[in-house]
Structure 1
Amino acid sequence: MAQDGAEMAAGTAEGYASHDGVEHSGFNIHPMDQFVVQPFFSDGPVGMFTVTNATVWMALAVLCTVLLLVVTTRGRNVVPTRAQSMAELSYGFVYKMVHDVTGRDGIKYFPYVMTLFMFIVMANLLALIPTSFAPTSHIAVTAVLALLVFFGVTILGFVKHGMGFLGLFWVSEAPLILRPVLALIELISYFVRPVSHSIRLAGNIMAGHAVLKVFAGFAGALGLFAFVPVLAITAIYALEVLVAFIQAYVFVMLTCVYLKDALHPSH
């Protein structure tokens, strides 16, 4: 009798334990496992030159961008195909954004802004494929993109205006006594830009995919009642498709705003 009780207790404890030895009192759902960077072709540690899942999906995002913007538009058909129409709509959308925010002076930087938009939106959309990987959910990726923008616009500002670029931090319309305080606030907010720029994108993508994984775990555990979380997954998935575009738009819009500050720094 005592032996049976011990076996039952052991079985119960085993059922509440996850694969990593952490005890749980509910479903064994690990929504953050999907964000682990690991070797793509083998097992083992990740080294400096290891091809990882993040590397592969970023390369696929670049490949899809080239296919859409270069290959599908090579014919330049008068009556465009669907793919060519998508490429032309993307081009016109980003071009208008750059022109409206930065003015005529910013048009020469349009290729870089367009590259940022297409890479982010392609990476976000590819990450919605089941068993894929979301590289834009990692700060290591979004921080590099944000720092490139930050250093790029800062160098551009000093190259074009010299020390006059510091006028960006001097609020000449404010009362004289407040100008030093406002200059300090502006300076701090300027250096916080790459932090907010990168965390906004990574945080939104990570949160959405984590929620999808949680509801997918519920669907796998509820049996006959799985239709409830499946309906939720369908709604969230549709929302994530929208978020993929919105986050790319927000990232590029902020890039255009920072570029405008570099081109026209005075308040």
Structure 2
Amino acid sequence: MATEATGAEHAAETGGLVFHPMDQFIVKPLFGGDTIAWYTPTNVTLWMAIAILVIFGLLVMGSSRRAIVPSRMQSIAEMAYGFIHKMVEDICGKDGLKFFPYVMTLFMFIVTANFLGLIPMSFTLTSHFAVTVVLALLVFLTVTIVGFVKHGTAFLGLFWVSSAPLGLRPVLAVIELISYFVRPVSHSIRLAGNLMAGHAVIKVFAGFAALTLVSPVSVLAITAMYGLELLVAFVQAYVFTILTCVYLKDALHPSH
């Protein structure tokens, strides 16, 4: 939906242009109707299933033969595997590699959903806070549970800055505690906000493409924004993943 060419319509009453850049983010039932229950298949359900199938095809089917001279799909799968494996090892250390499957799953789901959202008439899963908040909360709960299971009450040392002057430590502890509980908010809003903003801007430029005088400029702007969104799609998945690794490092090594 991000690149719809018909993003504007002439309003009969005013003769002006009416943009609806946020319509692309509306959750709709797949089989009609207006009521959405927890069991109702929606466009979110559809594109989530497509994302899973794409990931399965890339990582499982694409690397099933394990040829010495890899195919393109196998090369992409191996590059993604090596990229995330090195990230987890560099940030979390050797003992963090047990979380590699989880981090790899996060990265592949987010980056796949981001790129699928750039297909015309598609739906951007990661533009919805309902999706990104769940992902961020899972990371938050995982980090917190691992921290207490591995270190017990010593995990609370994460909030006590022992290197600071004694008088400042209680103040810093409050700040650290607040920043810790704000993590899921910033983690989720950063991803959804960037994806939503970029797609909305593309839709606005696509609306101006209906006007003959500014159509060439609008097409150039759409092309430039689309190229930028390709970069944003990868960068936001990378940022979400590397922050997950940083948080896991706090759980594994909580002392300042």
Normalising by the smaller structure, the TM-score range is over 0.9
Amino acid at match of 2:212: G
- Give the CA deviation at 1:188: 0.3
Stretch of structure 1 that moved more, 107-116 or 54-63 = 54-63
- Give the CA deviation at 1:224: 5.2
Task: Select 1:264's aligned residue among 233, 237, 253.
Answer: 253
Specify the alignment match of 2:4 in structure 1.
none
Amino acid at match of 2:61: V
Specify the alignment match of 2:153 in structure 1.
163
Structure number with the higher helix fraction is 1
Question: 1:96-135, aligned counterparts within 5 Å?
Answer: 96-135=86-125
Question: Is the Cα contact below 8 Å between 2:25 and 2:124 reproduced in 1?
Answer: yes
Task: Select 2:13's aligned residue among 15, 37, 54.
Answer: 15
Aligned: 1:143 with 2:133: yes
1:226-251: per-residue Cα shift (whole Å, max 9, x none)? 11100110111011011000000000
Number of residue-to-residue matches in the alignment: 247
Task: Select 2:83's aligned residue among 93, 118, 129.
Answer: 93
Question: Is the Cα contact below 8 Å between 1:38 and 1:45 reproduced in 2?
Answer: no
User: Percent sequence identity over matched residues?
Assistant: 68
Specify the alignment match of 1:206 in structure 2.
196
- Give the CA deviation at 1:135: 1.1
User: Moved runs in structure 1, 4+ residues, more than 2 A?
Assistant: 12-16
Aligned: 1:238 with 2:227: yes
Normalised by the length of structure 1, the TM-score is: 0.90
| Two-structure CA RMSD over aligned residues (Å) | 1.3
Normalised by the length of structure 2, the TM-score is: 0.94
Question: 1:32-111, aligned counterparts within 5 Å?
Answer: 32-111=22-101
Unaligned runs of 5+ in 1: 1-11, 17-24
Question: Is the Cα contact below 8 Å between 1:61 and 1:126 reproduced in 2?
Answer: yes
Question: Is the Cα contact below 8 Å between 1:136 and 1:205 reproduced in 2?
Answer: yes
Query: Which secondary structure state, in structure 2, belongs to the residue aligned with residue 78 of structure 1?
Result: coil
Amino acid at match of 2:251: A
Question: Is the Cα contact below 8 Å between 2:11 and 2:17 reproduced in 1?
Answer: no
- Give the CA deviation at 1:27: 1.4
- Structure showing greater radius of gyration is 1
Q: Distance in 2 between matches of 1:234 and 1:131?
A: 17
1:78-132: per-residue Cα shift (whole Å, max 9, x none)? 0000111000001111111111110111011000000000000000000001111
Specify the alignment match of 1:226 in structure 2.
215
Task: Select 1:255's aligned residue among 230, 235, 244.
Answer: 244
Q: Distance in 2 between matches of 1:54 and 1:67?
A: 20
